[in-house]
Structure formats: structure tokens, C-alpha cells
Amino acid sequence: MSWSEEVAEIEFRRSLAAQHGGEERVQRQHSQGKYTVRERIDRLVDPGSFVEYGALAGTGQYEAGRLKSFLPAAYVMGTARIDGRPICVGGEDFTVRGGSGGSSAMRRSKGGLGGFIEDLAWEYKLPLVLLLDGSGANVSSVKEMGHTYLPSSADWTRSVELLGEVPVVGAVLGSAAGGPAARAMLTHWTCMVRGQSHIFTAGPPVAKRALGEDVTKEELGGATVQVTKSGIIDNAVNSEDEAFTAIRRYLAFMPQNVYELPPVMPTTDRRDRREEELLDIVPRHRGKPYKMRRIVELIFDNDCPPLEIKPEYGGCILTYFARLNGVPVAVTAHNPLVNAGAVDAAGAEKLTHFLELADYFHFPVINLVDVPGFMIGTRAELAGTLRKGMRAFYLGYQMAVPQATIIVRRCYGMAGSFRASRLNLRLGWPSAEWGSIPIEGGVDAAYKREIAEAPDPEQRRIEIEADLRLLRSPWGTAERFGVEDMIDPSKTREILCNWVELAQHALKLQVGQRSMPGVRP
């Protein structure tokens, strides 16, 4: 006896699920410039590689024992490949109940809070990609369950555990509120689409009802707010297709899980490539800025451009994933075009998270340093710069991965001290200088009485600064082996390529989860 009738029923139900929330709602999604969740997955992953699970889950209406209509669950998930590497992927279907997960039982079994796809990613140690476009909890689900639901942190157990096991990536592609918005925060990296994506704890109707605030979605949670000002989303893109490209680029740097090293890729760039432009890029006038981003472009592999993380937030610090001779590295750099490179509260938060990510996933770290210290002044104090800066210091002290520091120009104070930590190879350019405090900032305090009592206080200040500048030369430090070496800037790439090859040997012994003792400041 054949089971062909039942097999036909499977395909019939799959065809109904593929209709999402119906033709009208799919058209509405397209009219807003958005793809359906299955279209998103198809554009993200390698062609033909998506294997869907749970397509038959949903709510069926029956007549005389036969399926009359079917509303699929508002979550689509499965496994796929990106550049040949297996991943797990899931996302809300906004055409079904605005992406609301429905009943608690459905959410646990299919997606969202501690769902099946998260369990699968955890069990098989595969990267997880979340395509977020959901409105969160729906009060209508109370009728379905017949009772209200008591929130519990246990619902988020797997979401939290995954952060210590595999790369978790989120793309906010529509409006994310409530649970989906919270889920976006439990990731290692996120992006959103300008003018299309919005993320907030609760949307404008709730804000108006609770607080009397009458705001648009863009004003409350658009990219200008969440990427540039709050910094809760890492990168902004101009379209969904750009988001998929960004996801693929990010994952190309990441290992499959914490038990592997980031993947080394072949490169056509010469490891001994020298850049004469680096000899002239730092001005002799110490107060004149320059383009640190250009230094990054010149040093790292040119056939795999560096991927900047949080380029619009905490601008005094630049953070990248890049490659040296094909080896993935994490790069931090001070930006003299913002705060003259001084670390502010936003920059410290950005730096702390990025270094923690690099350390946990076993990236060797390269620091390009030009820092006069922590940002000072009233605004800096109100922002808690000192505490946030010392959190970065605390994290930097505990890091296990090898680090190489290039002191491009200044390296002063507590903000500079952990950029040249105990695990570092510290190399200075001829333009480098360092100390506990910049001379210009410390003379007035250290020589206050002598300056005040001089016949010409301003002239005496100038004389003292001139004397101290003679001691600021890096050569004295180099003579006493206070810095590992002074190097020709044009040879920086070659030197770092040699270093990163050595670093790989140490990194092989560090795979696995990292445990950091203590309480952050």
C-alpha cells in the first residue's frame, strides 16, 4: 500500500506555508520595500542550501476532516550554508501577525525565545543568524492560551548560552519591539537598514499611551538614533541586500564556534609590501590631526578590505576586523579627528565590547595608538568617562590573546597604559611619544609655584616645556628597552605579518570558552 497520498499532503501543506500570511499581506510587505522572510533567507545564503524545519507548524482549519485553510507560524527557520560553511538561520514572518510568535508553547518549539533553531545552533556549534522583523508579544495570545503568561529569565537561557559558544548575528530588517528587540541585543553583532528598520523597547503607540510622547518610529528607533546616538546597533546599511552582504562579510572573519580559530584565507597581497606613504602620514606638528583610517587601509590585506564595526558611534575609537597575510585580526585605533584621540565614554564602551569579542573568539589584536588620555571636562565627567574607561582597562588586563601595539604618536596616562599591556609586543614609530601625562597638560600643575613666581610666567612655562620635551624623545626609552623596538613605518605590514604568524601558535592553545574572574569596575 502506497503512502503517496500522505506525501502529497505534506507537499500541499508546505505550499500553503509558502504563501506566508496571504497574497495581500505579502504585497504589502513588498510595497514597503521589504522581502518576505523566505526571500531574505534565499538572498542571504548559498543558492539551494536552505533546509527548512517546522514549515508545517501553524494553525489549520478543518472541514469534514480535511484541511480547509492554514495559517503558518510566524517564524521561519532552518540550516543553510554561507560561502560553503553551515549555519543556522531564523526570522519572524511579519506577514503573519506582524511577526508575533503567538502562544508561548509555539515560541518555545519553533523559534524566538529559546526556540528550536537556537537549540540546534547550540548542539551542533553552528553560527546563528537572526533576521529580526517582529512586533513582540501580542495581547491576543492570552485568548489562545486561556491565561496570562508569567515572564521568566529561563525562557532566555539558550539565547544567553549561545553567546559563549558560537557567533550570533542579528539583522533588524523591519520594526523590532519587545522580545525581538531584546533578542537583537543578545547577539555579537547587529545591523539595520536606514529608513526601513526600527528597534525600540516599545513602539510609538505604547510610548504615547504611557508617557504622552508623540513620536514617529524613525524618531524613536531609527538608524540615526540606534546606530549613531545610542550605539545599540553596530552598523547601518542602505538596503536589505546590503545587510545580507554585511552578514556574509562579518561571518567570513568569525570561527564556527569558540572551539576553533578564525578561518585563514588565501591572499594575493604581498606580506612584505611597503607603503612609503606611511613615512609622511603623521604631521610633525603635534597638534595637527591626520587620517587614522588611511593607515588601516595601507597596512592590512588589500584584497579583503577591513570591516569597520560601529563606524558611526564612539568615533574617537576605530574598531575593525581585518586580515594580515590572510590571517583574521582584530584592530583597534585611536582617531585623532575626534577628541584629538582622547577616549570618551562612548569610545570606551565600544572598545570594551570589541576587545571582549576579539578575546573570546581568539583574534590576535593589533592596536594603533595615538591617545592623549581619557577625555576631560564637564561633559566627560557627567558621562562617567573615568569608570567606563577603566572598564576597558580592566578588560584589557585580563585578555589572553596575543596583542601587538604600534604607537603611532601619543600614548599617555591610564588610557594609554592598557594599550601597551603585559601581553603586548610594543613597537614605536619615530613619531611616537609617551608618558604618564602630556607635558602641556602637566606643566601648569607640577610647576605651578615656579611659574607663578617667575618674572615672566609665560616665558618660564615655555622654558620648562622645552626642557621636558628633550626627555620626551623615544630614544631614551628604547636605549633602556622600555619599548620592544622602534620601526620604520613603511615596514609595518611586513613586521605585523611576521608577528601574526607567531601568534597563531599561541592561539591554538587557547580555543574553548574564556572565563574572566572578578567584577568589572
Condensed to tens digits (0 to 9), the pLDDT of residues 144-187 reads 666 676 776 777 889 999 999 999 999 999 999 988 899 999 99
Give the 3-state secondary structure of residue 178: helix
Residue position matching grid coordinates 564602551? 349
pTM: 0.90
Check for a shared fold between 4-253 and 276-432+483-507: yes
The pLDDT score that the predictor gives to residue 438 is 65
The pLDDT score that the predictor gives to residue 469 is 64
The pLDDT score that the predictor gives to residue 103 is 40
The pLDDT score that the predictor gives to residue 424 is 77
Q: How far apart are CA 86 and CA 80, in angstroms?
A: 6
Q: Which CATH code of 3.10.530.10, 3.40.50.2300, 3.40.50.720, 3.90.226.10 fits the domain covering 276-432+483-507?
A: 3.90.226.10
Residues 30-48, buried b or exposed e (16+ Cβ, 10 A)? eeeebbbbbebbbebbeee
The pLDDT score that the predictor gives to residue 102 is 45
The pLDDT score that the predictor gives to residue 110 is 47
Phi, psi (5° rounding) for residue 446?
Answer: -75, -30
Q: How far apart are CA 351 and CA 24, in angstroms?
A: 46
For 50, 77, 113, 184, the CA distances from 110, given in Å and listed in that order, are 16, 8, 9, 18
- For residue 167, the one-letter residue type is P
Domain spans of the chain, in order of start: 4-253, 276-432+483-507, 438-472
Is residue 218 within 8 Å of 200, Cβ to Cβ? Answer: no
CA angle (78 as vertex; 72, 79 as ends), nearest 5: 165
The segments of the chain whose pLDDT lies below 50 read 102-114
CA angle (101 as vertex; 97, 105 as ends), nearest 5: 135
Name the percent of the chain in helix, strand, coil, to the closest 5. 40, 20, 40
Computed over its alpha carbons, how large is the radius of gyration of the chain? 27
Phi, psi (5° rounding) for residue 26?
Answer: -65, -40
CATH 3.90.226.10 fits 4-253, yes or no: yes
